[in-house]
Structure 1
Amino acid sequence: MPDSADHQPVFYLISGLGADERVFQRLIPQLRGTVHYLPWLAPADPDEPLPAYAERMATAIPLDRRCWLVGVSFGGTVALEIARLRPLALVALISSIPGADQLPPLLKLIRATGVQHWLPPQILKFTPRLGQWYFGVSNGPEYQLFRQILWDQEPRYTRWAIRSLFRWDSRDIGPAVQIRGTHDRVFPPGPAKVEYLIQGGTHFMVYSRADEVARILNQLAGEFRSEPPVV
Structure 2
Amino acid sequence: MIYLLPGLGADARVFRNLQPLLLGESRVLEWVLPASPTEPLPAYAARLAADIPPEQTGLLVGISFGGVVALEINRLRPQLRTVLISSIPDAHSLPPLLRLIRATGVYRLVPPQLLKLFPRVGQWYFGVKNGEEYRLFREVLRDMEPRYTRWAIHSLLHWDSANVGRAIQILGTHDRVFPPGPTPVEYLIPGGGHFMVVSHAQEISRILNKLAAGEPHPLAPSPKERGN
TM-score scaled by structure 1? 0.92
Partner of 1:56: 47
| Gaps in structure 1 of 5+ consecutive residues | 1-9
Q: What's the C-alpha RMSD, in Å, of the aligned pairs?
A: 1.2
* Same amino acid, percent of matched pairs: 63
- Match for 1:164: what amino acid? S
1:207 to 198, 208, 212: 198
Aligned pairs for 1:6-155 within 5 A: 10-155=1-146
Which one of 164, 172, 189 corresponds to residue 181 of structure 1? Answer: 172
Q: What are the Cα deviations for residues 110-168 of structure 1, in whole angstroms up to 9, with x where unaligned?
A: 00000001001122111100000000000111101100110100000000000101111
Q: For residue 178 of structure 1, give the secondary structure of its aligned residue in structure 2.
A: strand
Amino acid at match of 2:89: P
Match in the other structure for 2:153 = 162
Q: Unpaired segments of 5 or more residues in structure 2?
A: 222-228
Moved over 6 A (4+): none
CA distance in 2, matches of 1:109, 1:18: 22
Describe the superposition over 1:171-210 as per-residue Cα deviations: whole angstroms up to 9, x where unpaired. Answer: 1000100000000000001000100000000000000100
Aligned pairs, number: 217
Q: 1:223 to 1:67 in 2, by over 3 A?
A: closer
Aligned to 1:3: none
**TM-score scaled by structure 2?**
0.93
Q: CA deviation at 1:43?
A: 0.3
SS at match of 1:213: helix
CA apart distance, 1:224: 5.1
